[in-house]
Structure 1
Amino acid sequence: MNTLVVYAHPNRESLSYAFLQRVLKGIQDHSAPMEVQVLDLYEDEFDPRLVFNKEKRRRDMHADPELARYREQLLWADRIVMVYPIWWGRPPAILLGYIDRMFASGFAYRDNGKLLPEGLLKGKSVVCVSTMKGPAKYTLFWLHDAHKVLMKKALFRYVGIRKVKFFEFGSMESPKGRHESKLRKVYRYFRTANA
């Protein structure tokens, strides 16, 4: 199984980075052979900005040569893992910019005249590993699970990806956040899970 891990946090001393390391260790310790690519959006200096003008038209975004390597990664992957913090109830701007630029019409989906387009990334799975300062149930009760709805329904289902799993950890800036048990949970999942 080919796994693309997309990491979106600017600090390598962060708890998000610790989760990234546990994801990678779990995959490494899995009994089945797996290939892994890691895309650190900050280290890669990924430009999240959309630019549309006379030279760069939105309808041509699916073939932008600047994004060719990233498209190849997404096509290569059987499983996409995203590791990121939740800031203001949603993923960081750099990850949202990656989504805006990469999940383009003609690459990730194709309009077909129906209510929903044809998803072109069918057969892949996604795991989202996210952390936040607020309580674990904050996004459910105060934001009506907006983060999960955004990722699962507005993005992944739209492009044909049906299998989506979330690890959404709250109270991560609290000494009572049970960090080590949450890190172990993520490690165990990736050590044993199939796509």
Structure 2
Amino acid sequence: MKMLVVFTYPNHDSLNYAFLQKVLKGSNENTKIKEIQVLDLYEEGFNPLLVFNDQKRRRDMHTDPHTEKYRKQLMWADKIVFIYPIWWGRPPAMLLGYIDQLFASNFAYRDRKGLFPEGLLKGKSVVCVSTMKGPTHYPFLWLNNAHKILMKRALFNFVGIKKVKFFEFGNMESPKGNQVKKLEKIYRYFKEVAC
């Protein structure tokens, strides 16, 4: 299995970075995971802004030379892991900008007759590891599960990715947030995950 980890947090001295390290430690100890690539969007200097004009059209995003490297990473990967905070009930703008540019028509999906497009990223799986200041069940109870619906239904299922696993860790700024236990849970998951 080949795994791409997309890390989205602007500070390496952070709990999110500690989650990245646990993902990598567990994955490196997992004999089923053969290769790993890490894309740190902030360190990479990824530009999340969409630009459309006479020279750059939305319908040509799937061939944009500025994102070719990232498209190749997505095609290469069997499993895609996203590590990010939940801010205002959704992923950060940096990650949403990556999604807007990479999950483009004629690369991630193809329009066809009927209600839904053809997903072109079939066979891949996704794991979302997210952190938040609020309680763990806040997105479910207060926001009608908006984060998971956005990521799973509106994005991953749309492009053909059916196998999606979520780790939503709340109370991460609290001294009673069980951070060590949650870090260990991620380490064990990636050490043992089969596909």
TM-score, scaled to structure 2 = 0.99
Q: Distance in 1 between matches of 2:103 and 2:92?
A: 16
Find the residue that maps to 1:43 and give its secondary structure. helix
Which residue identity does 1:193 align to in structure 2? Answer: V
Q: Distance in 2 between matches of 1:105 and 1:120?
A: 9
- Corresponding residue for residue 47 of structure 1: 47
Which residue identity does 2:170 align to in structure 1? Answer: G
Provide Cα deviations, 1:82-105, integer angstroms capped at 9, x if missing partner: 000000000000000000000000
TM-score, scaled to structure 1 = 0.99
- Corresponding residue for residue 192 of structure 2: 192
Find the residue that maps to 2:155 and give its secondary structure. helix
Structure 1 runs (4+) deviating above 4 angstroms are none
Find the residue that maps to 2:43 and give its secondary structure. coil
Provide Cα deviations, 1:38-88, integer angstroms capped at 9, x if missing partner: 000000000001100000000000000111100000000000000000000
- 1:123-138 superposed matches below 5 A: 123-138=123-138
Unpaired runs of at least 5, structure 1 = none
Unpaired runs of at least 5, structure 2 = none
Q: Shift in Å at residue 7 of structure 1?
A: 0.2
Find the residue that maps to 2:37 and give its secondary structure. strand
Q: Distance in 2 between matches of 1:189 and 1:108?
A: 27
* Amino-acid identity (%): 66
RMSD: 0.6
Q: Distance in 2 between matches of 1:102 and 1:157?
A: 15
- Corresponding residue for residue 91 of structure 1: 91
Find the residue that maps to 2:167 and give its secondary structure. strand
Which residue identity does 2:83 align to in structure 1? Answer: V
- Corresponding residue for residue 174 of structure 2: 174
- The farther-off stretch of 135-144 and 30-39 is 30-39
Which residue identity does 1:50 align to in structure 2? Answer: L
Q: Shift in Å at residue 32 of structure 1?
A: 2.5
Q: Distance in 2 between matches of 1:183 and 1:23?
A: 9
